[in-house]
Amino acid sequence: MQVPAPFDYARARSVDDAIALLEEHGEEARLVAGGHSLLPMMKLGLASPEMLIDINDLTDLTRIWVEGDVLRIGAMVRHADLLASAVVGEQYRMLHEAERVIADPVVRNRGTIGGSLCHADPAEDLSAALGALRAECVVRGSSGERVVPLRELATGPYETVLAAAEILTEVRIPIRPGAGSAYTKVERRAGDWAVASAGAVVWLDGETISEVGIGLAAVGAPHSVAAATEDAIRGRGADDETIDVAGERAAAECRPATDQRGPADYKQALTGELTRRVLRTAIARCRGQEA
Amino acid sequence: MTTTAAREEATVGFGRRIRKEDARFLRGRGLYIDDVKLPGMLHGAVLRSPHAHARIVSIDTSAAEAHPTVKAVITGALLDTLKLAWIPSLSHDVVAVLATDKVRFQGQEVAFVVAEDRYAARDALALIDVDYDVLPAVVDATKALDPDAPVIRDDIDGKSDNHIFDWEAGDAAATDAAFEHADVVVTQDVLYPRVHPAPLETCGAVADMDKVTGKLTIWCNTQAPHAHRTLYAIVAGLPEHKIRVISPDIGGGFGNKVGIYPGYVLAVVGSIVTGKPVKWVEDRAENLMSTSFARDYHMRGEIAATRDGKILGLRVNVLADHGAFNNTAQPTKFPAGFFHVFTGSYDYPVAHCAVKGVYTNKAPGGVAYACSFRVTEAVYLVERIVDCLADELGVDPAELRMKNLLRPEQFPYLSPTGWEYDSGDYPKTLRAAMDLAGYQELRAEQVERRARGELMGIGVSFFTETVGAGPRKHMDILGLGMADGAEVRVHPTGKAVVRLSVQSQGQGHETTFAQIVSEVTGIPSDDIEVVHGDTDNTPFGLGTYGSRSTPVSGAAVAVAARRVVDKAKIIAGAMLEASPDDLEWNRGTFSIKGDPSVAKTIQEVALAAHGSLELPEGVEGHLDAQCVYDPPNLTYPYGAYIAVVDVDAGTGAVKVRRFIAVDDCGTRINPMIVEGQIHGGLADGIGMALMEVIAFDEDGNCLGGSFMDYQLPTALECPSWELGETVTPSPHHPLGAKGVGESATVGSPAAVVNAVMDALKPYHVRHVDMPLTSAQVWRAMHGRPFRTDLAITD
Amino acid sequence: MQVQMTVNEQPVTREIEPRLLLVHFLRDELGLTGTHWGCDTSNCGVCVVSMDGVPVKSCTVLAAMADGRTVRTVEGLERDGELDPVQQGFMNEHGLQCGFCTPGMMITARALLDENPDPTPAEIREAISGQLCRCTGYENIVRAIRWAATHPQPAAAATTEAVPS
């Protein structure tokens, strides 16, 4: 098996400790949480940090709770725990549907929400789902905390706005009652990255779409959301015609790359198809029609 | 019957029996190659070429040599001085152990380091500096013979192109004549893309040259330990009686672990140079990028028929991509393996095939992944083209097959290309599969679903395998005839040991071969030890691949066991003071005819044979026998498979809803193990049909070099397999058994592909090449499928 | 650096390099070779062990990260010479052939049954979907786990008696 190059290792005892360690060691230090994005890269020689700061002891970041109209998820929550959380499933079914298709059950026992978001792989499903929900990221550094909309977290593939000595501590999702949501993914095989994924959340005001979020993974949609599509259908009737418009706009808004998962024209068409499907399901769930 | 007797009865002979080998595997006590730990053992690692085709300008190993725990660094230049830089391949070509002049595929071996631990060995690779002069690569096999194609094998004197061989079988003139007069001719290009056996355990070896005794011990997860021993002797000039090859437990072989890989030779050289044991175990990238791939046959098939669906002939032209060296493992006289069994399961008088082999800048190999020496390619071709014919004629594909299947009275059947099929009742097996599937109901359901715009498909595949190589006058590997030995020894206290020439990689030989001896001798399975894998204490043979263990070694064991019983009968006669002709044999007991109370068990005979009983003239003591079995023919297991798929019209995603498999492998030694073998092969079919491929980009970069890129099916892609059986024993095999290890891998891809094509009928798609990923299916539905052997570019 | 952990209910302490992967720690340092490795990209799952009660891919965990944790490998499945029902199920239902993926499969099966004692075949398939098998086509693995679900009491030492089919 391939193995990582040598590095130093430290265990953070608290968030502040982690920040201090990052500041002390600078650009050559990386946080390791679940490790299932970073360690494979290190084994393949694609990343070689000189210091790993293990944050798995930061149990104060593993809570999931509702506070007022915010669903708060600690950054160290494992994918498996997000999937198992009844609170999460009650609020936004799409998060469970997304989690179920992220990696595989064993990897989900280790991978964390924070790790996935900060790794910023353009095919990362949770970024798309949370993006659709307009989640916010709480980031802490030595100068304090700031809140970054998830839609502004990633600046490109594997790049975020996080400074070298900052740590994502929490994800906050606004709760508005009456939502219907859905997430779907097409993959070559269970556990693979998406060929394309789409997630939608809607709120209805009568027959009108009062608010909508559409997330797209793996197809080059900026910040993994279809913002122009959202704008195009907000305020429209929740009907077949609107769903078709959404599909067309989403396909136009994404910029998929041709690779071994498929050619760009297929991914584009797929984006449209999946957007239609999740929007249809989200609307039905909003109306209490679909299980 | 007493409880003890009942228990003994239950463990005698054929039948469902749990496996002996499980006891250690379940406890984590298997001994796989990376578990082997010898005192003072060092670790080797191979530096590999990042380029598909490049001249080596220089190699600087000084930094690696300066590493504190590196004990040796070996390059092609050093091997050259030992005349080991190049070794003979399995197909009368040569293979580079370490590149000297050029690298010829991405992943080719360039240097070898030996260090104190595995991490240091990998670190040292990064310290070696190689200067390459990159050359254009030959990636598209269909362009390998273009006049301006770069010449890959300029190491061969006078070589000016990338051509390897031309080979043909059948009667071209008669076939052409049949085509000329046929009502209907269907032509179809069919690619069987490059795939990889990908056993979960990678290839590896621990070489230990003992300078004092002069004995070289090589632990290696090889499927053919004796062949390896002989080849090392021939290639390295080492005396064969001083070489011991030990195959420990093997984590899957599937034809990946047949040949001698450069890493093994390097481990041997490393051990000689350092004076210590050297372990080399490859990582997954190395396994996928450099060890024996499978298939890569570009086939053009043509089928001729009457208007009412009687097949008249079959013609195939094949372009075979062999990679950078011709290193296919198959009998010498058959450069295209057994491909010419492509006439399949059908009755028609003429056929012809021509195969052209070419070099490309890719890893060498081709015969692997349960192919039975290219039978996978042959079956895929004929089963696809028969379906294309059904499509052309507008008839049901099962009906078309039933109309053309060989009839029982035609067996033994001599095919147009010279294969003598031993036995079969094909229509019965197809009917059994159709009944098990509920074929008519499925077709009715399909009509309903189609009316609703849903894409449901039903695919049929009827395969004939040819396995159990083989008669030694026709079949040898590098001159070693494919006859295998077996020894059976009964101990004084009536327990027994059987020593095999074949090597299990999960097929359960420790259980099934004990059952063979048990069936013949009446000794309970539990009292029989199976020894395999160590060339120092097992008889010579060519190993396990091509489903040959049961047909060849199983026969050898059965014959040896029969010889034991024959000898036991004589000794029993002496004990009972009766003529052997007056004795009756009943599963372990000899009794006087007409007086069953006067009897001797074989255990009692064994003790007497080792004792002081006076033996008849010419009869030696002890109770053992051996056999070298030269099979009179191959065996022909066969089967009918039916796949039911649902294709998502919006995404192109294929879901295999059901898979029905009715296999006929003759006598079944252990039905539980037979079914397990079939289950595994069926999963291979789903993998190859829907997701597996090793493609290359135009620079020769391998696009299938990890398990992220080379996709294998999980439990979620596989349905619950539905199995049936028919049993048509082989008339020439001592047990009537035919072997089954590769049948399902051979027959299943066509069933899945046929099902998907059937689903896409409303889109008038006749054929699309594997793997039928959702992207490929969607593109096919829109009239633009893409080549799957090359990088997807648009 | 030093790591301390509990492996199969035994405390262990060792000096290691930080980059040492848990799978190599278990195999090479502790001699527990029942856990295997098979890929470079965390896909195959032959390395699965149980850490703090949940299955993890030990090739993607540093031994350093396991410091202070509890690890269970295939060697720790049996108790006092008695096979775990999962092990017995794999034997009875022919859930293994080459045995290479089997330790990881059984660890995941044990964890699944501890949380969901009566899983459906679909739930079983999903639970093992992160682990590959090349030999069995998964059918008998599912049957083996179902057997363990329906026979939750540990058996006496395994025999090779014929099992009624």
Q: Does C72 share its domain with C10?
A: yes
Structure confidence by residue, pLDDT tens digits, C39-85: 999 999 999 999 999 999 999 999 999 999 999 999 999 999 999 99
Q: Does A105 share its domain with A40?
A: no
Cβ-defined contact of B202 to C137 (cutoff 8 Å): no
Q: What is the mean pLDDT of residues B570-599?
A: 95
C137 pLDDT tier (thresholds 50, 70, 90): very high
- Strand A208-217 versus strand B365-366 pairing type: unpaired
- Residue B670: per-residue pLDDT: 97
A45-70 residues labelled b (16+ CB within 10 A) or e (exposed): eebebebbbbbbbbeebbebeeeeee
Structure confidence by residue, pLDDT tens digits, C83-112: 999 999 999 999 999 999 999 999 999 999
Question: Rounded to 5 degrees, what angle do the CA atoms B697, B702, B706 make?
Answer: 135
Q: Does C35 share its domain with C97?
A: no
Q: Hey, CA dihedral for B448, B450, B453, B455, is it positive or negative? A: positive
Question: Rounded to 5 degrees, what angle do the CA atoms C163, B513, B623 make?
Answer: 115
CA distance B123 to B114: 11
Q: Which strands form B278-281's sheet, in the order they lie side by side? A: B70-75, B109-115, B42-48, B278-281, B204-210, B215-220, B243-246
User: Which sequence spans correspond to the domains of chain B?
Assistant: 3-30+483-629, 33-135+202-250+257-290, 293-469+633-781
Task: Classify B26 in phi/psi space as left (phi over 0), alpha (psi -120 to 50) or beta.
Answer: alpha
C155 pLDDT tier (thresholds 50, 70, 90): low
Within 8 A of C61 by CB-CB distance, chain A residues are 35, 39, 110
- Residue B355: per-residue pLDDT: 98
- Residue C71: per-residue pLDDT: 98
Cβ-defined contact of C99 to B21 (cutoff 8 Å): yes
Token digits for A190?
């269970």
Token digits for B684?
């291979």
Q: Does A78 share its domain with A147?
A: yes
pTM: 0.97
* C47, C87, C138, best to mutate vs chain B, most B CBs in 10 Å: C138
Q: Give the domain extent around A100.
A: 61-174
Residue A193 sits in a domain of what CATH number? 3.30.390.50
Tell me whether residue C72 is in a domain: yes
Q: Do residues A194 and A254 make contact, with C-beta atoms less than 8 angstroms apart?
A: no
E strands in C8-161: 10-15, 48-51, 54-57, 70-72
Tell me whether residue A291 is in a domain: no
- Residue C158: per-residue pLDDT: 46
Q: How many CB pairs under 8 A join A and C?
A: 84
Locate the chain A residue with the closest alpha carbon to C48: A106
Q: B617 or B267: whose pLDDT is higher?
A: B267
C-beta neighbour count of B697 within 10 angstroms = 16
B184 pLDDT tier (thresholds 50, 70, 90): very high
Within 8 A of C60 by CB-CB distance, chain A residues are 35-36, 39-40, 107, 110
- Residue B235: per-residue pLDDT: 86
- Residue B8: per-residue pLDDT: 53
B679 pLDDT tier (thresholds 50, 70, 90): very high
pLDDT value at B715 more than 90: yes
Residue C125 sits in a domain of what CATH number? 1.10.150.120
B236 pLDDT tier (thresholds 50, 70, 90): confident
The closest CB to that of C162, out of B15, B29, B684, belongs to B15
Q: Does A41 share its domain with A111?
A: no
The closest CB to that of B792, out of A2, A263, A274, belongs to A263
CA distance A179 to A199: 13
Cβ-defined contact of A9 to C42 (cutoff 8 Å): no
Q: End of a domain among C58, C76, C94?
A: C76
Structure confidence by residue, pLDDT tens digits, A252-263: 999 999 999 999
Q: Do residues B494 and B523 make contact, with C-beta atoms less than 8 angstroms apart?
A: yes
- Strand B184-192 versus strand B297-305 pairing type: antiparallel
- Residue C160: per-residue pLDDT: 44
Cβ-defined contact of C75 to B27 (cutoff 8 Å): yes
Task: Classify B356 in phi/psi space as left (phi over 0), alpha (psi -120 to 50) or beta.
Answer: beta
Q: Does A203 share its domain with A126?
A: no
Within 8 A of B680 by CB-CB distance, chain C residues are 97, 133-137
- Tell me which residue of A209, A81, A223 sits closest to A149, measured CA to CA: A223
Q: Does C64 share its domain with C118?
A: no
Cβ-defined contact of C129 to A32 (cutoff 8 Å): no
**Segment among A74-88, B323-337, B392-406, B690-704 with least mean pLDDT:** B323-337
Residue B127 DSSP code: T
Tell me whether residue C164 is in a domain: no
Instruction: Using a CB–CB cutoff of 8 Å, tell me whether A10 touches chain C.
Output: no
Q: Does A18 share its domain with A78?
A: no
* C62, C100, C108, C123, best to mutate vs chain A, most A CBs in 10 Å: C62
Within 8 A of A106 by CB-CB distance, chain C residues are 45, 48, 55-57, 108, 130-131
- Residue B763: per-residue pLDDT: 97
Class of domain B3-30+483-629: alpha beta
Q: Report phi then psi at B244, rounded to 5.
A: -125, 125
Tell me whether residue C157 is in a domain: no
CATH number of B33-135+202-250+257-290: 3.90.1170.50
Same-fold call for B33-135+202-250+257-290 versus B293-469+633-781 = no
CA distance B344 to B577: 56
Q: Does A80 share its domain with A152?
A: yes
Cβ-defined contact of A107 to C130 (cutoff 8 Å): yes
Cβ-defined contact of B30 to C165 (cutoff 8 Å): no
Tell me whether residue A25 is in a domain: yes
Q: Does A79 share its domain with A117?
A: yes
CA distance A167 to A30: 10
pLDDT value at C163 more than 50: no
Bridge partners of A11, per DSSP, are: A54
Within 8 A of A50 by CB-CB distance, chain C residues are none
What mean pLDDT, rounded, does chain C reach? 94
Within 8 A of B695 by CB-CB distance, chain A residues are 260
Residue C17 sits in a domain of what CATH number? 3.10.20.30
Within 8 A of C46 by CB-CB distance, chain B residues are 200-201, 251
Tell me whether residue A269 is in a domain: yes
C165 pLDDT tier (thresholds 50, 70, 90): very low
What is the count of structural domains for chain A? 3
ipTM of the complex: 0.97
Q: What is the mean pLDDT of residues A134-147?
A: 97
pLDDT value at B540 more than 70: yes
CA distance B298 to B283: 30
The residue whose two tokens read 């830089």 is B85
Other chains touching C, judged by 3 or more CB pairs under 8 Å? A, B
Q: Does A44 share its domain with A80?
A: no
The secondary structure element, H or E, covering residue B229 is helix B225-236
What mean pLDDT, rounded, does chain B reach? 96
CATH topology of domain B293-469+633-781: Aldehyde Oxidoreductase; domain 4 (3.30.365)
- Residue A90: per-residue pLDDT: 94
* C48, C50, C57, C123, best to mutate vs chain A, most A CBs in 10 Å: C57
- Strand A154-156 versus strand B484-490 pairing type: unpaired
Structure confidence by residue, pLDDT tens digits, C118-128: 999 999 999 99
* B778, B781, B786, B794, best to mutate vs chain A, most A CBs in 10 Å: B778
- Residue C159: per-residue pLDDT: 46
Q: Give the domain extent around C50.
A: 2-76
- Tell me which residue of A38, A6, A51 sits closest to A115, measured CA to CA: A38
CA distance B11 to B6: 9
- Residue C154: per-residue pLDDT: 72
Within 8 A of B778 by CB-CB distance, chain A residues are 262, 266, 269-270
Tell me whether residue C158 is in a domain: no
Residue C104 DSSP code: H
- Residue A118: per-residue pLDDT: 98
- Residue B535: per-residue pLDDT: 98
Classify residue B184 as exposed, middle or buried by CB count within 10 Å of its CB (0-12, 13-18, 19+): middle
Strand, coil or helix: B195: strand
A229: which residues sit within 8 A by CB, 6+ positions away?
Answer: A214, A246, A249, A250, A253, A275
C-beta neighbour count of B81 within 10 angstroms = 8
pLDDT value at B333 more than 80: yes
Cβ-defined contact of A2 to C40 (cutoff 8 Å): yes
Question: Rounded to 5 degrees, what angle do the CA atoms C157, C161, C163 make?
Answer: 110
- Residue A197: per-residue pLDDT: 98
Cβ-defined contact of C38 to B200 (cutoff 8 Å): yes
Tell me whether residue A2 is in a domain: no
Within 8 A of A3 by CB-CB distance, chain C residues are 19, 21, 24
pLDDT value at A121 more than 50: yes
Q: Report phi then psi at A136, rounded to 5.
A: -120, 150
Task: Classify A288 in phi/psi space as left (phi over 0), alpha (psi -120 to 50) or beta.
Answer: left
C164 pLDDT tier (thresholds 50, 70, 90): very low
Q: How many CB pairs under 8 A join B and C?
A: 201
Structure confidence by residue, pLDDT tens digits, B143-171: 999 999 999 999 999 999 999 999 999 99
Residue B416 DSSP code: T
pLDDT value at A182 more than 50: yes
- Residue C162: per-residue pLDDT: 43
Within 8 A of A101 by CB-CB distance, chain B residues are none
Tell me whether residue C160 is in a domain: no
Q: Does A34 share its domain with A68?
A: no
Q: Do residues A172 and A72 make contact, with C-beta atoms less than 8 angstroms apart?
A: yes
Q: Does A91 share its domain with A129?
A: yes
B6 pLDDT tier (thresholds 50, 70, 90): low
Token digits for C26?
């278990």
pLDDT value at A73 more than 70: yes
The closest CB to that of B706, out of C41, C73, C141, belongs to C41
C-beta neighbour count of B225 within 10 angstroms = 29
What is the count of structural domains for chain C? 2
The closest CB to that of A3, out of B122, B284, B711, belongs to B122
Structure confidence by residue, pLDDT tens digits, A10-54: 999 999 999 999 999 989 999 999 999 999 999 999 999 999 999
Cβ-defined contact of C98 to B673 (cutoff 8 Å): no
pLDDT value at C157 more than 80: no
